Amino acid sequence: MVIFSDRPITELEHLYGEGHRRAVESLRRAVESGFFAAVLGARRVGKTSVVKTFLKHYRHKYLYFDLSPYMGLKSVGFRSLVPAEIGFDENTLSSEAQLNLTVISFRIKRVKITGEVFQANLLSLLRELNSKYDRLVIVFDEAQVLAFIKGVNYRGLLQFIHNNYRNIVVVLTGSMPGLLERVISPIKAGEPGFARYIEEIHVPRWSRRETIEFLRGGLKERNIEHREEELHEVYEEISGIPGFISYYGLLRLRGLDHRDALDKTISYAVSQWENDLHAFLSIYNSPLYIYVLSILAETMTGASWTELKNELERKLSRTVGKSTLYRILTNLVKAEMIQKQGDRYTIMDRSLRKTITMLNKQLYPIIEAWNKG
């Protein structure tokens, strides 16, 4: 059965696409072996769906932290670490662990909880969960936010869990892999961090065939008339990102015709890209990202390294270092905003291209000021 939804999928039978199912399987293997895992992929590709489906299907005990609301913020209070979901029976815990849970959930009123108190209570709770269960999964959804949380030493925390709580496995998700690397790398170079024990699991976009089969299946099941060309057009406009494809399906179910549904989906995609670009800019703190994207948005055939470098230097009236350009391109490729084919870089999505062209006007004055300041 095909589910068109704007919420994460939680049932394996509803999780569509070979790559998504393979990601669930890889996650199972990593967690069974006791490895930490990082589930990576573009925005709205289905990372949360993969993790939630995995937890539910294999009936794991878990603690789920959802950091997605804080993406793009440079300073985040540790209250953001309230567990969004508690996937075990609280009532079977000792009274001490129940109290720990009450503290880290900020359910106690009129008591000031500091970062240290929070951390101590979390570790004490985990000590009991580690001895009580064979396996407990802790999820940090959009884990790159951890790097901006004030008052809690998240790296120390992850390292401590890794070294001392053998039955606990941490799963991170992230759509900004460049930053996630910073979160998981050891505190000091040369230290034996846990980064090398992290299994990276990639959630891919759907192929054209998968996109069309998903839409065709869902529309047929509800007797909604449609033409094959319409489904191909959806793929071409919003490529294989399940979140946008599912949204289109949802609108068709609500009675919109193809044109209306597609237009609304594109607007939705553009507004989401807009948020992401702002977050990206704020986090990576460099207008060069926007320059690179705007150069690429202007060409359909993309640009080579040398063309990009020349064009950037012309716009900025200064030289751009090789390592700087390399870092920018790597982060954009990893965030799946651009792709490299042969020796050319191009923007992956039409809706992203549209968003950049639209934002150019709005962002250029900010960037100019930035350059001068």
Ligand X SMILES: Nc1ncnc2c1ncn2[C@@H]1O[C@H](COP(=O)(O)OP(=O)(O)OP(=O)(O)O)[C@@H](O)[C@H]1O
**Which segment (15-23, 102-110, 126-134, 187-195) binds ligand X by CB under 6 A?**
15-23
240 belongs to the binding site for ligand X (CB under 6 A): no
Residue 175 Cβ vs Mg ion, minimum distance, rounded to whole Å:
8
175 belongs to the binding site for Mg ion (CB under 5 A): no
Residue 145 Cβ vs ligand X, minimum distance, rounded to whole Å:
12
| Of residues 48 and 239, the one with the C-beta less far from Mg ion | 48
Residue 318: partners with Cβ closer than 8 Å, 6 or more residues away: none
8 belongs to the binding site for ligand X (CB under 6 A): yes
246 belongs to the binding site for ligand X (CB under 6 A): yes
Distances from the Cα of 339 to the Cα of 98, 130, 188, 205, 331, angstroms:
48, 42, 32, 13, 11
242 belongs to the binding site for ligand X (CB under 6 A): yes
53 belongs to the binding site for Mg ion (CB under 5 A): no
Residue 67 Cβ vs ligand X, minimum distance, rounded to whole Å:
10
Distance CA 152, CA 149 (A): 7
Query: Is the distance from CB of 244 to CB of 268 less than 8 angstroms?
Result: yes
Q: At what angle do helices 258-284 and 228-238 cross, to 10 degrees?
A: 10
Query: What mask, x for binding ligand X by CB under 6 A, covers residues 37 to 56?
Result: ----x-xxxxxxx-------
Distance CA 335, CA 297 (A): 16
| Of residues 118 and 140, the one with the C-beta less far from ligand X | 140
Q: Is beta strand 61-66 parallel, antiparallel or unpaired with respect to 85-87?
A: antiparallel
Q: List the one residue from 10, 26, 48, 80 that touches Mg ion (CB under 5 A).
A: 48
Residue 83's binding partner, choosing from Mg ion, ligand X, none, with beta-carbon cut-off 5 to 8 A by kind? none
Distance CA 52, CA 171 (A): 11
20 belongs to the binding site for ligand X (CB under 6 A): yes
Distances from the Cα of 101 to the Cα of 83, 111, 119, 125, 137, angstroms:
9, 14, 11, 7, 16
Q: Which of residues 65-104 bind ligand X (CB under 6 A)?
A: 68
Residue 366: partners with Cβ closer than 8 Å, 6 or more residues away: 287
**Which segment (42-50, 213-221, 226-234, 354-362) binds Mg ion by CB under 5 A?**
42-50
6 belongs to the binding site for ligand X (CB under 6 A): yes
Chain positions contacting Mg ion, by CB under 5 A: 48
Chain positions contacting ligand X, by CB under 6 A: 5-9, 15-17, 20, 41, 43-49, 68, 175, 242-243, 246
